[in-house]
Each structure stands twice: as C-alpha cells, then as structure tokens.
Structure 1
Amino acid sequence: MFFCYIFVVVSLINFLPDFHVSSCDHNCADKPRFTPSRLVVQFGKPTSALCSVCQPGCNVSLFNIESPIGSLAANGTEVTWTVNEMTEWIISPSCYYNNDTTDTNCCSVLPITVYKPPDNVSFSVHPDVPMSEGQQYTLQCEVRDVAPVKNLTVTFYRGQTALGEPKSSKRENDEPKPVSEVFTLNITSTKEDDGVQFWCEAKLELGAEGPQPPPVVESEKLTAAVLYKPHLEVSIPPDPIIIRKGNPLTLNCSSVGNPPPSYTWTPPSRITSPSNGSVFFINSITHEDEGLYTCYVSNEKGSISVQFDVTVQANNLILIIEGAYNLWDRIRLHTTHSSIPTAE
C-alpha cells in the first residue's frame, strides 16, 4: 500500500507540467506565494523561484506551476521552478492548486521582467563640423537593442556634468523585446566648451529587485573643438600708464581664441620696430616713447583691439638735480637783488 501511494504521487508530479490552468481565481483567500514575489532576470541567464502552494497542513489534491519553460521540483506543498537559460521575453509563471471543494483553481502569477543591456551606445554631434561659439548643435545618443525600453534612462554629459535626460518616445511602449532608439539634446556652444569631452550613457533602472547598481553602458567620449573669437586673458589698466624715464616698459595683450590669434602693434610712428607678439617691450623708455599703443588681436572668427596710454616722467635723480638747480637759481637771484645800493 505504501509503495502504491508513492507511485501515485510520482505519477502526479510527472503529469502536472502538461496540465493547463483553465480557470483561475486570483482573489482566493489562501493564494499560493512566490519567493521572490517578483523576478528580474537577464535574457539568456538562469533564474528560479519557489512557490508555497498553501499553508502547512492544508488539504490540496492538485497543485503545480505552469510555465512554457523551466523544470519543476516538488517538496511537500512547495514547488521550485528553475530555468537554466531565460529564452522568453514575455513569461508569467502561474502557481495553482485545487482542494476539490470547487472547480476553480486558486492561482498566483509571478511577475517577471526580462531585460537586456544595450549592445552598443554611440554618441555624435550634428552638424558634424567644428563648433562655433554661440551656435546651436544637436547631441545624439543612439542606443541599440535594449529591453525593456520603458526602463531605459539616457543621460548626456559635458565632462562629468549631466546636461539632461531626454525622454524616450517609446517609454510608454510595453514592447518587451529589444528595440533601438535615438535620443537628442540641443545645446548652444560656448568658448568654455573647447577641449571638453561630451558623451552619453544608457542605464536600465529595474527597481530594487533588479541588479545593483543598475546596468550602465557608456558611449565613447568626443572632445569638442569650438571656434571662437579672441578674448583677453589679462586685465588692461583703464588709466594711463605712468612710468619713469629709463625704466623698461612691458605691454601685454595676451588673448585666447580658436584658431590661435595673431597680434599686431601700432605704437607711435617714431618707434620703428613694432612687436608682432602678445607682449610689447621697450628696454629703456624715453620721453619720445610717450603716446598711445594699440594691440590688434584677430583670428578667422573676429578681432579685438586694446589701447595703452603711456606717460613718461623724469626719474628721481633728474628731479633732484632740477630741484637743486631751481633752488640755487632762486638763491642767486635773491642775493643779487639784496646787494643793490639804496639811494640816499
């Protein structure tokens, strides 16, 4: 009798995978419970779940898990469902039992999210030409073969600064299979963007049950080349430059620009050797060097000019000599005036 009972149970377990749930009550009082209650699994990877059919001591005549793939193993009123390789994009295993008191099975469904990280994430800028300061450009991030797209977040970066997260046009789409999509973001370039790396990343945010941290695929990084007109690197004194005679004079109009700027100086006409660099230098200045000096800075994107007003003063030694001479002259005149006879 004992061996007969074992034979009946084994025969029942072997039969159950071919059983199809025809009528299910998902609101029954003592529903089967899956552990975990939700699965997130990568396509092509293994997974498993345990179904506790009912409370210990319950009386059920028929129970199992119904699924198109996977193997089952029963232990008492618990059934373990195991998949060696997830090959379905849409799958919702159902755990059920029947206690002969009704024709309806008591059922629970295991929610499963099957995901796939992108095959590739590529980044580009349109139009594909060197940027110019103040112009608008479109950053483009192409994400290929990702699922599910509704869980996808794409972020554009300037260096390590996030620029924005454009929404997917397919985000409300419940398509579970892999799709490809192009995301775009418009920017206005500045001179500070020159030499900065731009890129994007695709992240699958699958909730607490998903992999932690979430799967992320980054694009290659593109270094921006932004053309911009010259900008001064140095502060220019607004007031005249006052310098002692004989001292060196240095005028600086160093600028940044892309392409690198060129420099032209137009000092007073009596100066016969103007500089063609960003710094103008006179080793020992004289009164003849007084005047306006203009620095012209230019590249193909524009030009600027800077003026320096230079005033030359006599040096201290000359001032002392001149002061002493004036004092002696006044003393001499006073002495001469005092020696004139007074008429009687």
Structure 2
Amino acid sequence: MNQFLFALLSACFILTATEVIIMLSPPKLVVEYGASTSANCSAKVSADVHVVNMAWEAPVGKVVNETGAKDTILTWIVHNLTEWNIKPFCYITTKQNQIKSVLPVTVYKIPDNVSLSSVNHNGPYVEGKEYQLQCNIQNVAPVQNVVVNWYKGQTIVEKSNITGTGESPQNTSATFVFRPSRIDNGAQYMCEAQLELGPYGPKTPPSLASEPLSMNVHYMPEFFNSTETFVQTDKNLTLNCTVRANPLPTYSWSSPTQSEEFKGAVFTVPPNGIGSYNCTAKNQYGSAGKLFIIKKKDSVNTVLWTVIGIFLVLVVCIVAFLIMKYLRSK
C-alpha cells in the first residue's frame, strides 16, 4: 500500500513539473556595473492548465509584456544596473501552485587601479636570489572571477587565481615568486587583472594591466669560452677579454712579457709574442678568468707545404714536356 501511494505521488509530481516549463533567455546575465540589460521570460503550458498570473520579480527595472499568437513573453529591462547582489526571477501562478525560475546575474566591474611592486625589496635584483612581486588590484568585482596574468615582455609566464568570494567590489592582491637571471636584466614585468566571466560574458575578457616594472639584475662575469688559442704572428695580436657583467667588471692581466700591471679589457701582444696570457674580470658579485694561448709557428708544417708546392710544380712541368714531345713527333 505504501509503495502504491509513493508511486502515485511521484507520478503526480512529474505531471505537475512537466505541465509548466519556464524558459529564460538568456539563461544567465553578465552585466557591467551601471550598464543596461534585459532578459525574456516565456513559458510552455499544457492546454489543461489554467494560468492565473505570469510576472517578473526584481527590485529594479521594468517589465514589458509582449503577447504573441501562441505565447506571452515578458521582458525585464534595466537601464542602469547598480545592484551587486540581485536575483530576479520569473514566475507563473496556476490554480494548483506557483512555479518560478531564478535568473543568475553576475555584475562585474574592472579594477580602478592595478599596480606592481617588489615585496620587501628596493634597488637592483641579484641573479639567483628569490624575490616576490606583488600585484595590487583595487576595487574589482566579483573577486572570485579575477585571474592575474604575469607578463615578461609580451609573454605570459604565470597565471594566478584569486581566492575570495563576494559580489561587491573588493581590494585584492596576488604574488609571483621568481629568481632572476642575467637574461632578465632590462626585461619588463607586468601584471594584468582579468575577469573570467564565462560563455555569457564579453567575448574579450575585461582587464586592466599595471605599469611595467623594469628589471635591473646584477650578476658576476661569466665567460662562455674560457680558453682561446692563437698562432704566433709577425704583427700585433689583439686579445679581447670583454665580458658581460652588471655592474661592469674591472680587468687584470698576467703575461710572460708584462712589465707593469694592465687594467684594460683588450691586451695587445707585440709581434712574435708567445706564451700564456691570463685575464681576470671581476665585480662585487664574483670573478671569472680566461686564458689566451699563443703558440709558436709550426716549422714542420711550413717545410711540408713547401715540399708539396715544389712537387706540384715538377709534376706540371713533366706533364707539359710530355705533351710538347708528343705534338712534335706528329
């Protein structure tokens, strides 16, 4: 008996639920604060259902009634939406019950300002050390829809989600942890607060970016090639020890022929100079060395090429002689 009553009640519930279907268009609204918006409400009603009333319920806006050949369409219109937490709904009252459908509304606002700063740090950054950048976002809504894009130049290097809830505008922030390298020197970092509002939001997500923050990264000298080899020459030979470093390094040299200390980046070796020349580049963060080796001319190679040259000349002469002899015999 109990099972029979349960089945009967379930059938009645399904019948009632399917007698009236409320349709909202669009099914969700995403509106910028202060902008105008509208939504339509229509219904599919079974022929045997008597509708007493159909209406919108909302604290703001007005309703326009459009009666077509078959359906009634109620349009809710707001010309200046300034309510942050609004839940309008369309309802239909029949003799049996009342059915309503709530229209989800997201009211958004781009930030008043977005700024980028370094946390607990002033001055230049040092290669390899850990730092934090903070993106400060003022007066944005809804905060839970904010995604922070971190840019290096024009490239997004990281994305941060904001933890928070609420419909009305709030201040919020996000941090980015990084270890700068020498290739970051002169780079510009920037953060962008972007509102991800889903498929019913604007095609281009609303956003506001900070002013760029230029990186001044200090780093020690580092040679990519620590040794260079040259062959002795009868002219001056220039050894270039220039290396990138920030701040610029000082240079010192040691050489077999050096009579006094030399401090420049470029060292000139006189003609026929041989031996090892050591250059050291140094700044406050460290030093790096480079070795220049000047070898004596290889006399064996010179003799070898001379012999080969003479041999080739003899071969050419013999071939020419044989050709002339052959021609004369005819």
Sort the TM-score into its range (normalised by shorter chain). Answer: 0.7 to 0.9
Q: Secondary structure at the match of 1:211?
A: coil
> For 2:225 and 2:244, how far apart are their aligned partners in 1?
10
Mean Cα deviation higher: 186-195 or 289-298: 289-298
Map 1:1-344 → 2, pairs under 5 A: 27=17, 29-55=19-45, 59-76=50-67, 77-99=72-94, 101-102=95-96, 104-126=97-119, 127-170=121-164, 173=165, 175-232=166-223, 236-237=227-228, 240-244=229-233, 246-268=234-256, 270-272=257-259, 275-282=262-269, 284-286=270-272, 289-313=273-297
Q: Alignment partner of 1:258: what SS?
A: coil
> Does the CA-based 8 Å contact 1:201-1:217 persist in structure 2?
yes
Distance 1:47 1:279 in 2: 72
Q: Which moves more between the two structures, 106-115 or 303-312?
A: 303-312
**Alpha-carbon offset, residue 129 of structure 1:** 2.5
Structure 1: runs of 5 or more not aligned? 1-25, 324-344
Describe the superposition over 1:156-198 as per-residue Cα deviations: whole angstroms up to 9, x where unpaired.
122233232233231xx2x111111111121112111111111
CA contact (8 A) 1:267 1:274 kept: no
> 1:150 corresponds to which letter in structure 2?
Q
Deviation (angstroms), 1:222: 0.8
CA distance in 2, matches of 1:120, 1:52: 41
The DSSP-based 3-state class of the residue aligned with 2:183 is helix
Q: Is the 8 A contact 2:251 2:263 kept in 1?
A: yes
- TM-score of the two chains, using structure 1 as the length reference: 0.75
Shift of 1:106: 1.8
When residues 216 and 71 of structure 1 are mapped into structure 2, their CA distance, relative to the original with a 3 A threshold, is same
What amino acid sits opposite 1:297 in the alignment? A
Cα distance, 1:271–1:235 mapped onto 2, change above 3 Å: closer
SS of 1:232's equivalent in the other structure is: coil
Deviation at 1:299, TM superposition (A): 1.2
Please state how far the C-alpha of 1:96 moved relative to its aligned partner.
1.4
What CA distance in whole angstroms lies between the structure 2 residues aligned with 1:241 and 1:276? 22
Note the C-alpha offset of 1:68: 0.4
Report the CA distance between 1:31 and its aligned residue: 2.5
Distance in structure 1 (CA, Å) of the matches to 2:230 and 2:295? 6
CA gap 1:307/1:56 in 2 versus in 1, 3 angstroms: same
Q: Residues 35 and 105 from structure 1, CA distance in 2 versus in 1: closer, same or farther, beyond 3 angstroms?
A: same
Equivalent pair of 1:43/1:86 in contact (CA under 8 Å): yes
Q: Distance in 2 between matches of 1:220 and 1:212?
A: 24
Letter in 2 for 1:70: G
Identical positions, percent: 35
Q: Tell me if structure 1 keeps the 8 A contact 2:21–2:45.
A: no
In 2, the alpha carbon distance for the partners of 1:27 and 1:95 equals: 16
Partner of 2:4: none
Normalising by structure 2, report the TM-score. Answer: 0.78
Contiguous gaps of at least 5 residues in structure 2: 1-15, 308-330
Contact 2:223–2:290 under 8 Å retained in 1:
no
